[in-house]
Chain A
Amino acid sequence: MSLDRAVKEALLRALATAMIEHADELTGLDQAIGDGDHGLNMKRGFEALLATLPGVADKSLPEMLKAVGTTLVMKVGGASGPLAGTFFMELGKAMPEEPDRADLSAATDKAIQAVMVRGRSQPGQKTLLDVLVPAQAVLAAGGDARAIAAAAAAAAERTIPMLAIRGRASFLGDRSIGHMDPGARSASLLIAAAAAVLQQEASS
């Protein structure tokens, strides 16, 4: 898979659009079980990412991903900034310039491991990991972009009955049950946005 400049730019714009358009929804989810800043924080970070375009898309894929990660770390704030930023920075470190499917699978696995370390968390604790891990499993098993996006969306839904163990939602104890985790939702939106661009690229 060779991602040319236009595809890289389309990819970043799609990620940013997803976060900006869903900012109110994410904030609403976070108001239910957190401090209500997730939508605003992600929007701020991805608006900052848009401001690095088009230049950032001129970089090689690994360098571009690392730059995306740094922007998110510096601008998102909250716990989401380091978590999302770490994901992209580690993805960049692990990604060759022209990844094949196996490279993509291996790099996303490494990036998810880094997010686990950063957040000292594991799947099952009502976090973004509950979306990242099952979506990555579909990627690793050979699923196409559509299947990966569907797995991510279903996984976000499955955080609704979960009890939060990490993050501020864990302060609520049992009252965290019955609400979708905002970080899981934003992760699924980002995966869907990336999948849509890559699907279109694969079929063109």
Chain B
Amino acid sequence: MSQANPGNVGIVIVSHSPKIAEGAADMVRQMVGNAVPLAFTGGDVDGGLGTNVAGILAAIEAAWSPAGVAILVDLGGAETNSEMAVEMLPEDRRARVVVCNAPVVEGAVIAATESSGGSPLAAVKRSAEEFYA
């Protein structure tokens, strides 16, 4: 992640399963290497299946880019917790983080590919959402 281009949109992967989150991140890395700031989180605060706001906030911080961060989520709670996390960000960052309405694995790979070409946040989100729409 240290070699990520800081100008590219960051990608955050949020799954109920830590294994899925990690595996999706592996697939992103295979596609774009270190060109994109990337972080993943999964599991509830006790390590069981679920999602948690603190983990999502930490992932956003880890994948932070001045160009913004696109979050890919799996099921309902991942989305709701991600939206909650975005609202808890400092105001100057809040508008630069979006939750994508896209499948978590496919969306992450597509979003990262778009980001790796230097596209802005809106284009990264659109690519993830349109590809499987």
Contacts and interface: CB of A to CB of B under 8 A. Distances in A.
A118 B84 contact: yes
Interface string A101-124: 000000000000000001100000
Contacts of B16: 35
Interface string B52-82: 1110000000000000000000011100110
B52 A79 contact: no
Interface stretch (A70-78, A153-161, A189-197): A70-78
The 5 closest A-B pairs by CB, nearest first: A77-B44, A82-B84, A79-B77, A77-B50, A78-B77
Interface of A: 35, 37, 40-41, 44, 73-75, 77-83, 85-86, 118-119, 167-168
Contact of B54 (A37, A40, A74, A167): A74
Nearest to B52: A77
Interface residues of B, number: 19
Contacts of A119: 80
Contacts of B44: 37, 41, 44, 77-78
Nearest to A85: B84
A43 to B, nearest CB: 11
B91 interface: no
Q: Which among B16, B48, B49, B81 has the greatest number of chain A C-beta atoms within 10 A?
A: B81
Contacts of A81: 52-53, 77, 80-81, 84
B45 A118 contact: no
B83 interface: yes
A35 B75 CA distance: 11
A78 B53 contact: no
B127 interface: no
B92 interface: no
Contacts of B46: 44
Contact of A77 (B51, B75, B83): B51
Contact of B80 (A35, A44, A74, A118): A118
B90 to A, nearest CB: 16
B22 to A, nearest CB: 18
